[in-house]
Structure 1
Amino acid sequence: MNHRFLSIVGLAAAMAFTSACSANKAVVDTQAAQDVKRKVAVAPADTVPAWAPKKHQFNPSRTNVHDLLHTTLRVGFDWEKQYLNGLAELRLKPYFYPQDSLVLDAKGMDIHSVNLMKGFDATPLQYAYDGQKLRIKLDKTYTRNEEYVVEIDYTAKPNELPAGGSDAITADKGLYFINPLGEEPNKPQQIWTQGETEASSAWFPTIDAPNERMTQDIYITVDPKFTTLSNGVFMYSRKNADGTKTDYWRQELPHAPYLAMMAIGEFAQVKDKWRDRELTYYVEPEYQGTAKKIFGNTPEMMEFFSKKLGVAYPWPKYAQVVVRDYVSGAMENTSASVFMEDLQLNERELLDKNWDGIIAHELFHQWFGDYVTTESWANLPLNEAFANYSEYLWAEHKFGADEAAYLQLDELGQYLDEAETKREPLIRYYYGDKEDMFDAHSYAKGGRVLHMLRKLVGDEAFFASLNRYLTDNKFSAVEVAELRMAFEDVTGMDLMWFFDQWFMQPGHPELQVAQTYQNGQLSLQVKQVQDTAYMPVYRLPLEVAVWAGGKKTTYPIVVDKANQTFTFNTATKPELVLFDAEQQLLGTVAHEKSEQELLYQFYHAGQLAPKLEALTKLEEKLQNPEVLKMYQAALKDDYWRVRSTGINALSNLSQEQAGVVAPTIKQMALEDEKGAVRADAVLALAGWGGEKYKAVFEQAMQDSSYQAAAAGIMAYAGTGAADIRERLRQFEEEKNEEIVLALATNYAVQAGPEKYDWFVRQINQAKGGGLYYLLQSFGAFLAGNSETNTPEAINLLAGIAQNHRMYYVRASAYQALMVMSERPEVQALLNEIRQNETDKRLLEMYGQ
């Protein structure tokens, strides 16, 4: 869900009921970390903190017994049964030691035959299969210099596998049939795969480990109406006698098996180009006209990253495909990334949002993850931290320093939120499940650590080191030591201390900073107060910026003790001391400042985080004329998020107090260049008396921005105007999520039974985060309209609560059902849902 929209639809959740489960970060964006002095609760000294690293067994990388050199797949599909019928030909050799048997990963398949192939001659081989591992007895003992080929005739049956997955990747069936019989309205028929972490072996037999590499050929037989996509280069399409076609894709450069992919559907293909490489954007035909606006920055990204890294994009083509019901946000399959359907936007939606962050993320993986691959899931940050940091690099390049700084604040907030209950090393050999690695540590913390490494060594050395890392390790699997050695080889520095404290140790520094000034000397006392039973005393090269007599001076310091004092000579008492002047630190800093210091900081620090800190900390001081003046200045800031922050703070003024700022905010509601700011301004005006600004709300409802229009709907609905129902009815055919949720918020408490059919229609076509909020409004609607508590409504909610792939949507449906819990049949359903639920988060919630 779009981050900005939460402020518009948050009322819907409050009207319905509070939730005991948190929203999935992959779908519902967290609020920005505007308060840079975030604090983590510390448990009493005699207890184990809730976040203490858990004890798990050691998880090494997979031992290389055989080397999988090449895979040839010939696949067709039974859409009705949702089976893949395959013939896999694998060319291998022993990795080092002689071998007389082969063990392959093959999950939930029917194995029809296994043969040793010499040319076209097939010799049956003995094998044993337990539903997970295929153990093959070879015809002799092979040495590491001898290659051999096995052929496996099999049927993959992904829907018969037990359910699994994680927050980041919500299922692990490997192969997915979408609307296989074509019976679901408004949903295309598709087949797509998702291999990470080890789910490729659910659709073809392989050695399903990240430290394995293979080249591949895939022959895909489908109805001619379908377009296919796979890794590498499209070679040809052949018509078959039975009316089908077979498309042939070749991947000539080696990659890990989890990066193998297929996507099949009735896609529109929009062509683009970067240098001599073909780019293709695969979207549903409805979005053919906007595909280049959605993905159109890809060529510029490829050029930017290629030049920054000194390594040109390494694959022969790049494709990006949008699919339905995807189990993650996106996936970086080699030369062919897959994206969730949220990326498909119409012209009007593109006015409010872009998906450049996720597009850059998957593209950067083509280097960090595909070209060079982590040898084990314990080393996942070597993939994900870099992909996350690419979002910062792109934002810095394309949209400026403030947008990049905002991303970093958001990343810090995500990590610190998770750190309240979980603190693990970035590189984790001790984990309970490999899926646990896909968390805010590997992504958000990892990206911030890379930024600190960049600041430590400098830009030139940082990118030269990345070039060394990529060049030395191309087409191979790596662990974190190889990244460290690349940096040490380039810089000549011993960086063991940095990698040890940031990659190998859990937690983060928690600093308390106190300043005093006396006799021309500024003293800063810095304490590291983190629990050193679990976390180190950090070594932190930082800068302190001091403004004295209107002049800024920057001092480099190294914090490396639990308690130390730094002194600086200043002729006058400083107007401001800014600790961590570059705002690079991953951690918390408690540094008390006066109102005057915060005001000075807003005007002079010149960076987003200090500016937002001042706005946040002075929000309750609006009666001070100087503070009010600061917020008025924020309304004119070049960066739209600062303007929005100013509006949202000023909206807390009473109607009488708002007189001095209301005209400016009214003008912003009508004229600000950013739809999100116009939306915030409209909602602020709504809080100061709707009738007075009715004309503004009427104009907002017709705004080109869906966000502003949704705010206009919410605001106009609060005016008490006689034509509210008629006005809102005009928007009931809109499919845009912002508009739908704005209507639902109003209908939840204002509408009668006549809106039941509208709710059902919207629920049946909603997705992800939008469905989560819509169900909450529906619950409130059902509570106020008992005559709509029909068997149809009960069955609708029960189906979602039992079957939806997103746990938080299941929770929302469960909560809506509870509105009718006095009915015996509903109570029985709730019990059944609890008994069949396997997600530990929901089980905890349902047990409360």
Structure 2
Amino acid sequence: MNHRFLSIVGLAAAMAFAGGCNINKPVLDTKPQAAAAAKASPSAGTEPVWAPKKHSFNPSRTREHDLLHTTLRISFNWEKQYLHGLAELTLKPYFYPQRQLVLDAKGMDIHSVHLMEGYDGKELKHTYDGLKLTVDLGKEYTRDEKYKLEIDYTAKPNEYASSGSDAITDDKGLYFINPLGTEPNKPRQIWTQGETEANSVWFPTIDAPNERMTQDIYITIDPEFTTLSNGTFIYSRQNADGTKTDYWKQEEPHAPYLAMLAIGEYVVVEDSWRELEVNYYVEPAYEKTAKKIFGNTPEMLEFFTTKLGVDYPWAKYSQVVVRDFVSGAMENTSASTFMEDLQLNERELLDKSWDGIIAHELFHQWFGNLVTTESWANLPLNEAFANYSEYLWAEYKYGPDEAAYLHLGELEQYLDEAETKREPLIRYYYNDREDMFDSHSYAKGGRVLHMLRKLVGDEAWWASLNLYLTRNKYSDVEVAELRMAFEDVTGQDLMWFFDQWFMKPGHPELIVTQRYSKGQLQLQVQQVQDSTYMPVYRLPVQVAIWSDGKKQVHPVVIDKAQQVFSFEAPTQPQLVLFDAEQQLLATVEHEKTEDELLFQFRHAGQLASKLEALQELQDQAARAQVQGMYKEALQDAHWSVRSTALGILSRLKEGQVSTLEPLIRQMAVKDKKSAVRAEALLALAGWGGPRYQSLYNQAMNDSSYQVAAAALLAYAGTGAGDASQKMTQFEKEDSEEVALALATVYAVQAGPEKYDWFMEKLHKASNNQLYYLLQSFGAYLASNPETNTPEVITFLGELAKSHRLYYVRAAAYQTLMVMSDKPEVETLMQQIKANEKDERLLQMYGM
């Protein structure tokens, strides 16, 4: 292979195959290596980097008033990006008599506040500091007295100093997309995002998760727009000024952060489940594929309702896709919002499925919406369940291996975060409520729920969830309510489980060793986690032992820092598999011989065990005995096993895989999983250079964009004389994967003639695609200094200053660094740093 090819493939790998090809696998690294453990352990008197941080206590909101109902009458000024609203709030004191009401109302103009008696209003004294609206009610009200306020206001979301987090990148509540219609290829839309406490940017409310209200929303808008909100659509009325007013009614109480609206030129694709209206709101270009994207929703509704024994609790279920969303998705009551990435054409659907995120938001309709966390400290009661629903759905619909694959990814995600952060799942001590939206609340929380399910058994698991939901419906909860539901069903005291997994930081770090002598297997288990910060865990697990080809399973309970278990075994065990169900959230170091790992791959029957064997033996992959296992892996039923084997074999030299090369060549054409076909092509590219030109040429016509993109990368690396012509033929393809593959090639091969192509793609790119394109564009600018024009500098400067996603701003800034020898660029970079407010970027910029 030539050096230019190495550069292309290396960059492609760094980009995780252009961010779109789903080749990446969770790395099954559940063993704390000795060196890593030494690094993580603090020296005497020092604190580990992951130690829980000291923050102030964050309780739930004190309930002085009870917000019973909200009526909103709203209209919009597209040019100024304002919302004009008339809010009518019905309240009463929660328990103690009250004369004063404090509402959340961020960044608004408050025009008037009236106490309403029928149609008559009495103006009330009030003060407003830009965040809180304080109203003198004129008299003291008791908890038996309702009162109604009318607030005339203007919401100005773009003038509110917002912030955000990794999960929710902005919190200004109300968003105007392409408000003046000046951005080509982007529709005009208005949408909201309420979590955590951002809905109070567009209507005055008590913006806390332990509050609940019913609502009416009257939306006045131009007639070409379709609206969506919570609850039931009641009517649309034409107005004398040419506008229309749509009326949506939410009759069941829900938390204010779950209120929503979405406005755009949508088509509404109708579906149903039982007697329930199920609709998908998409842009017109995706009308024909909407049911293929969201079409499993009715089956999910049936599955979750049946298993929980609690009917879906809301009047409808709609799903809407919006542009430039500030998160992946949001579970607004009866109307979930999704990022634009979910809109796929027929060909993209061959490569991608969004079932996980669709199941996640749907499960929230029970866990989060029907039963709501009383404070953000208890967020895992929402997010851990939604995370685990992805496992439950995959297990039901696609089988245990696909569910296990998802769970391995969750384990890796949490362990990666645990390198620098270990907090309790339920944490009242945090710096900012947005900090709760992390891999602890999601990934760790889902894995903990799986252990709870394994502990109590499936029947008790579903019965406990049923009790939790029915006992606490339309109310707010803390973690004790979940524990008590499980205790009341099972009759067991589960304080120990909830204490160690929900209330304490970290995870078990286990070292397992074994010794066999005279028919006795001794298994020693050590808990080596730092007990200064983490508990000594109680861990019910199963140990599987194979002797003479026969398997025996032994349940054990680990509850000490060091324990030894003895088991009868007639002969030297062929394999000892600790945590036979692979259900623990833990790191486990258990050394095995080559023969044991080969046996494990073929007999353990767990996806995690197969992947572990492949990865543990990767340094021996060239040996014939081990390579036999890899050959079996290339033909495994689950795509992740085939993909893992390909990834390991691709690192060998060409001569070391000669016996497997025909099989891999066949996989590049015939494997049923497009991601595996793509990875097989890249493996061949690493070995064969020009030898596989005809194969790459054939693969460019594959029905999968992922495969076509991999073929483009591979063909470009052959040095073929017509490679440039081949690339050009794909420049107009409407595919993120293809565009990013071309950008990867052009970054190291193209000259100034591709400048216009790069600029066009950058201007049209969606958020994630833009991030990856900027990586290649930086390399392109470095290779083509004549393209470092004022236009480019201005474009990158605007992205680095004002793009709503911090990681896109970071990528634009890094791309500018290519031109930092120019005085004007150096000045611009200083301005960018001076204006940046995001702590993550300030740290990166060395501020």
Q: Normalised by the size of structure 2, how large is the TM-score?
A: 0.97
Q: Is the 8 A contact 1:13 1:776 kept in 2?
A: no
CA distance in 1 between partners of 2:684 and 2:746 (Å): 21
Map of 1:834 onto structure 2: 833
Deviations 1:389-421 (A, max 9, x none): 000000000011111001100000000000000
Runs of 4 or more consecutive aligned structure 1 residues displaced over 3 Å after TM superposition: 9-19, 22-31, 38-41
Map of 1:847 onto structure 2: 846
CA distance in 1 between partners of 2:148 and 2:155 (Å): 21
Map of 1:467 onto structure 2: 466
Post-superposition shift, 1:16?
10
Matched, 1:506 2:500: no
Q: Which runs of 5+ in 1 are unaligned?
A: 1-8
Post-superposition shift, 1:341?
0.1
CA distance in 1 between partners of 2:846 and 2:688 (Å): 43
CA distance in 1 between partners of 2:98 and 2:349 (Å): 57
Tell me the number of residue pairs that the alignment of Structure 1 and Structure 2 aligns.
838
Deviations 1:647-666 (A, max 9, x none): 11111221222211111111
Amino acid at match of 1:601: Q
Quick one: structure 1 residues 18 and 641, their matched pair in 2 at CA, closer, same or farther if it must change by over 3 Å? closer
Give the alignment of 1:152-551 within 5 angstroms.
Answer: 152-551=151-550
Amino acid at match of 1:37: K
**Secondary structure in structure 2 of the residue aligned to 1:168:** coil
Q: Which runs of 5+ in 2 are unaligned?
A: none
Post-superposition shift, 1:27?
13
Quick one: structure 1 residues 834 and 417, their matched pair in 2 at CA, closer, same or farther if it must change by over 3 Å? same
Map of 2:763 onto structure 1: 764
Deviations 1:344-369 (A, max 9, x none): 00000000110000000000000000
Map of 1:71 onto structure 2: 70
Q: Is the 8 A contact 2:25 2:640 kept in 1?
A: no
CA distance in 1 between partners of 2:500 and 2:656 (Å): 50
Q: Is the 8 A contact 2:9 2:713 kept in 1?
A: no
CA distance in 2 between partners of 1:126 and 1:10 (Å): 72
Deviations 1:590-625 (A, max 9, x none): 000111110000000001001000001111102321
Amino acid at match of 1:721: A
Q: Is the 8 A contact 2:276 2:316 kept in 1?
A: yes
Post-superposition shift, 1:33?
3.1
CA distance in 1 between partners of 2:540 and 2:232 (Å): 47
Q: Is the 8 A contact 2:541 2:579 kept in 1?
A: yes
CA distance in 1 between partners of 2:779 and 2:294 (Å): 39
CA distance in 1 between partners of 2:9 and 2:662 (Å): 31
**Secondary structure in structure 1 of the residue aligned to 2:53:** coil
Amino acid at match of 1:682: L
Post-superposition shift, 1:768?
2.5
Give the alignment of 1:734-813 within 5 angstroms.
Answer: 734-813=733-812
Quick one: structure 1 residues 27 and 267, their matched pair in 2 at CA, closer, same or farther if it must change by over 3 Å? farther
> Over the residues paired in the alignment, what is the CA RMSD in angstroms?
1.9
Q: Is the 8 A contact 2:23 2:675 kept in 1?
A: no
Amino acid at match of 2:659: V
| Higher alpha-carbon deviation: 472-481 or 139-148 | 139-148
Quick one: structure 1 residues 736 and 438, their matched pair in 2 at CA, closer, same or farther if it must change by over 3 Å? same
Map of 2:43 onto structure 1: 45
CA distance in 2 between partners of 1:523 and 1:839 (Å): 54
Post-superposition shift, 1:800?
1.1
Q: Is the 8 A contact 2:100 2:136 kept in 1?
A: yes
Q: Is the 8 A contact 1:89 1:151 kept in 2?
A: yes
Quick one: structure 1 residues 168 and 28, their matched pair in 2 at CA, closer, same or farther if it must change by over 3 Å? farther
Quick one: structure 1 residues 743 and 387, their matched pair in 2 at CA, closer, same or farther if it must change by over 3 Å? same
CA distance in 2 between partners of 1:661 and 1:471 (Å): 56
Q: Is the 8 A contact 1:43 1:50 kept in 2?
A: no
Q: Is the 8 A contact 2:12 2:18 kept in 1?
A: no
Q: Is the 8 A contact 1:80 1:181 kept in 2?
A: yes
CA distance in 2 between partners of 1:425 and 1:252 (Å): 36
CA distance in 2 between partners of 1:24 and 1:97 (Å): 59
Q: Is the 8 A contact 2:30 2:586 kept in 1?
A: no
Post-superposition shift, 1:843?
1.5
Quick one: structure 1 residues 38 and 339, their matched pair in 2 at CA, closer, same or farther if it must change by over 3 Å? farther
Amino acid at match of 1:816: T
Amino acid at match of 2:723: I
CA distance in 1 between partners of 2:461 and 2:78 (Å): 50
Post-superposition shift, 1:13?
9.8
Map of 2:101 onto structure 1: 102
Q: Is the 8 A contact 2:216 2:248 kept in 1?
A: yes
**Secondary structure in structure 2 of the residue aligned to 1:656:** helix
Map of 1:113 onto structure 2: 112
Post-superposition shift, 1:769?
2.4
Give the alignment of 1:617-766 within 5 angstroms.
Answer: 617-766=616-765
Deviations 1:674-717 (A, max 9, x none): 11111011111111122111111001111001111001000111
CA distance in 2 between partners of 1:328 and 1:508 (Å): 28
Deviations 1:187-210 (A, max 9, x none): 000000000000010000000000
Post-superposition shift, 1:798?
1.0
Post-superposition shift, 1:163?
2.5
Quick one: structure 1 residues 644 and 15, their matched pair in 2 at CA, closer, same or farther if it must change by over 3 Å? closer
Map of 1:3 onto structure 2: none
CA distance in 1 between partners of 2:757 and 2:240 (Å): 48
Amino acid at match of 2:377: A
Map of 1:34 onto structure 2: 28
CA distance in 1 between partners of 2:725 and 2:21 (Å): 33
Q: Is the 8 A contact 1:26 1:168 kept in 2?
A: no
CA distance in 2 between partners of 1:27 and 1:79 (Å): 38
Matched, 1:816 2:810: no
Q: Is the 8 A contact 1:16 1:777 kept in 2?
A: no
Deviations 1:549-592 (A, max 9, x none): 10000000000000110110101000000000000000100000
**Secondary structure in structure 2 of the residue aligned to 1:427:** coil
Q: Is the 8 A contact 2:68 2:212 kept in 1?
A: yes
Q: Is the 8 A contact 1:541 1:559 kept in 2?
A: yes
Post-superposition shift, 1:771?
1.5
Amino acid at match of 1:34: L
CA distance in 1 between partners of 2:273 and 2:383 (Å): 24
Q: Is the 8 A contact 1:26 1:329 kept in 2?
A: no
CA distance in 2 between partners of 1:561 and 1:201 (Å): 49
Q: Is the 8 A contact 2:29 2:412 kept in 1?
A: no
Amino acid at match of 1:43: S
| Higher alpha-carbon deviation: 646-655 or 563-572 | 646-655
Deviations 1:806-847 (A, max 9, x none): 222111111111111111001111111111112222222221
Percent pairwise identity? 70
Q: Is the 8 A contact 1:12 1:777 kept in 2?
A: no
**Secondary structure in structure 2 of the residue aligned to 1:533:** coil
| Higher alpha-carbon deviation: 369-378 or 672-681 | 672-681
**Secondary structure in structure 2 of the residue aligned to 1:776:** helix
Matched, 1:583 2:582: yes
Amino acid at match of 1:702: N
Amino acid at match of 1:792: E
CA distance in 2 between partners of 1:831 and 1:44 (Å): 37
| Higher alpha-carbon deviation: 638-647 or 354-363 | 638-647
CA distance in 1 between partners of 2:640 and 2:479 (Å): 36
Q: Normalised by the size of structure 1, how large is the TM-score?
A: 0.97
CA distance in 1 between partners of 2:17 and 2:557 (Å): 39
